[in-house]
Amino acid sequence: MIIDDIRKKCGPKFPIEMRLSGDEFTEGGMSLEETVELAKVLDGKVDMIHLSAATFNDRTAGLRMFPSMFLPRGCNVFLAEAVKKAVKTPVNTVGSLNDPAQMEEILSSGKSDMVSLGRALLADPYLPEKARQGREEDITPCLRCNYCISQNFTPYVKYPKGIVRCVVNPVIGREFENKFGQPSRGKKKVLVVGGGPAGMQAAITAADRGHTVTLCDKNSRLGGMLLNAEREYFKEDIAKLTKVLIRRVQERPIKVMLGKAVTPELIGEASPDVLIAAVGAEPNIPNISGVSGENVVIAASDYDEDMVGDKVVVIGGGLVGCEKGLHLAHEGKDITILEMLEKAAPTAPYLHWLGLMKELEKSVKLYTGVKCTKITEEGVYAVNEKDEEQFYEADTVLLATGLKPKTELVESLRFSAPNFSVIGDCLQPATVLEAIHMGYFSALDI
Compute CA distances 189 → 185, 256, 386, whole Å.
12, 14, 58
Q: Distance between CA 275 and CA 416 in Å, rounded?
A: 8
CATH number at residue 413: 3.40.50.720
Q: Distance between CA 55 and CA 25 in Å, rounded?
A: 8
Answer whether residue 343 is part of any domain.
yes
Answer whether residue 227 is part of any domain.
yes
Q: Distance between CA 215 and CA 206 in Å, rounded?
A: 11
Answer whether residue 94 is part of any domain.
yes
392 and 417, same domain (yes or no): no
Residue-level pLDDT at 42: 94
User: Which domain-ending residue is among 91, 116, 141?
Assistant: 116
Residue-level pLDDT at 264: 87
365 and 328, same domain (yes or no): yes
Residue-level pLDDT at 163: 81
Answer whether residue 247 is part of any domain.
yes
Residue-level pLDDT at 434: 95
385 and 425, same domain (yes or no): no
Share of the chain above pLDDT 90, in %: 80
User: Which domain-ending residue is among 99, 116, 133?
Assistant: 116
Q: What is the pLDDT of residues 371-422, one digit of tens each?
A: 999 999 999 999 999 899 999 999 999 999 999 999 999 999 999 999 999 9
Within the chain, which residues score under 50 in pLDDT? Answer: none
The domain tally of the chain equals 3
394 and 380, same domain (yes or no): yes
Closest C-alpha among 140, 141, 97 to residue 115: 97
334 and 257, same domain (yes or no): no
How high is the mean pLDDT of the chain? 93
Residue-level pLDDT at 61: 80
User: Which domain-ending residue is among 71, 91, 116?
Assistant: 116
Residue-level pLDDT at 1: 55
Q: What is the pLDDT of residues 70-83, one digit of tens each?
A: 999 999 999 999 99
Residue-level pLDDT at 57: 82
CATH number at residue 91: 3.40.50
Residue-level pLDDT at 156: 66
Residue-level pLDDT at 154: 60
**What global pTM score does this model have?**
0.93
Residue-level pLDDT at 14: 79
Residue-level pLDDT at 155: 66
- Domain range holding 278? 186-282+404-444
